[in-house]
Chains A and B, each alone.
Chain A
């Protein structure tokens, strides 16, 4: 009987028991993996692909730039109804409806004014918004000018 007891505590059997206990716990690992997955899904910030309009700023926007040619002034004002009013130089103002998606009317008018005044496309054009003009209207005006390949555009500083 004592011999049998000794056999049951043999080092070989003890080693086998220890090996059996070494198991990979899958449940907590799956917990962690799901936690990570949910974290990544929730923390991911989806952003649609944005476009960019290249712009060039003068060295000192405050004092303006010394120009050889007087820039063509575009006065941009946002209306209370969401529309936009743009005046090219002394010309009568163009009214852009709030529903209008593009400022194509401005591009067409600007081309006519430039050719009438004998201006070249590299001559400066100055956007003069008011302090309360919506940034959306300023960018769309800039886009309309850029579309006719006039790339010397200045943002006027307002007080």
Chain B
């Protein structure tokens, strides 16, 4: 009788302790949720100019800032890639039939959107994020739209150091 009791104790099925694992998983979820800065789909993947010594790196990104992005279309390739414009998360494609027929309409609509966003947020900073591979002729449309929206102060996005140093995981921020 005693022997069988001992056998049961030592041959009990091994159990996976789930509680501690759930603790760790929840901790990770809470960490990611708190560390994330949610920007409404305006974090377009583009390569901004680097090695600009005068570029000021702010401690924290201004959440009220209005981001105007100019970036190449993913599908386009070659010397002068097709470009897309975005005011925050609202995209504008110059290849659309409406804008092809009336090129001025593109600048007008972008400037109207910028003006609307600027009215919503008083003294909002304007970030101009443009891909470094694009031509001035392409980025100029965004500058014209900003000027037409009566925006005077613009922050041109650029890295202060080399971009290779900046892409390391250590110096990245999650946004």
Q: Would you call B175 and A136 a contact (CB within 8 A)?
A: no
Secondary structure class of chain B's binding surface, majority of residues: mixed
Q: Would you call B25 and A34 a contact (CB within 8 A)?
A: yes
Secondary structure class of chain A's binding surface, majority of residues: mixed
Q: Would you call A135 and B56 a contact (CB within 8 A)?
A: no
Say which one of A11-19, A38-46, A113-121 lies at the interface with B: A38-46
Which of A47, A51, A132, A138 interacts with B56 by CB under 8 Å? A51
**How does the 8 Å CB contact mask read for A118-159 relative to B, with 1 for contact and 0 for none?**
000000000001111111101110110011000000010110
Which residues of chain B from 43 to 77 have a CB within 8 Å of any chain A CB? 43, 45, 48-49, 51-58, 70
**How does the 8 Å CB contact mask read for B134-175 relative to A, with 1 for contact and 0 for none?**
111111100110110011111111111011001101011111
Q: Would you call A53 and B155 a contact (CB within 8 A)?
A: yes
Please give, as numbers and ranges, the residues of chain A lying within 8 Å of B132 by CB-CB distance.
134-136, 139
Known: A57-B154, A135-B131. A51 touches B159 (CB 8 A): yes
Known: A44-B36, A59-B147, A135-B131. A101 touches B156 (CB 8 A): no
Q: Would you call B172 and A47 a contact (CB within 8 A)?
A: yes
Q: Would you call B175 and A47 a contact (CB within 8 A)?
A: yes
Q: Would you call B52 and A46 a contact (CB within 8 A)?
A: no
Which of B25, B134, B136 interacts with A37 by CB under 8 Å? B25
Say which one of B5-13, B27-35, B85-93 lies at the interface with A: B27-35
* A130→B174 CA distance, assembly (Å): 36
Please give, as numbers and ranges, the residues of chain A lying within 8 Å of B159 by CB-CB distance.
48, 50-51
Kindly state the interface size class of chain A when it binds its partner. 35 or more
Which of B147, B156, B157 interacts with A60 by CB under 8 Å? B147
Q: Is A102 an interface residue (CB 8 A)?
A: yes
Known: A49-B171, A51-B52, A60-B147. A139 touches B140 (CB 8 A): no
* A54→B174 CA distance, assembly (Å): 24
Please give, as numbers and ranges, the residues of chain B lying within 8 Å of A37 by CB-CB distance.
25, 28-29, 32
Q: Would you call B174 and A53 a contact (CB within 8 A)?
A: no
Known: A41-B32, A147-B53. A50 touches B143 (CB 8 A): no
Pairs A-B, 6 closest by C-beta atoms: A51-B55, A131-B137, A136-B132, A52-B155, A143-B52, A139-B49
Question: What are 21 A-B pairs with beta-carbon distances under 8 A?
Answer: A30-B22, A37-B28, A47-B172, A48-B163, A48-B166, A49-B57, A50-B48, A50-B157, A51-B55, A52-B55, A53-B52, A53-B55, A55-B153, A55-B155, A55-B156, A61-B147, A132-B136, A138-B139, A139-B158, A146-B54, A157-B144
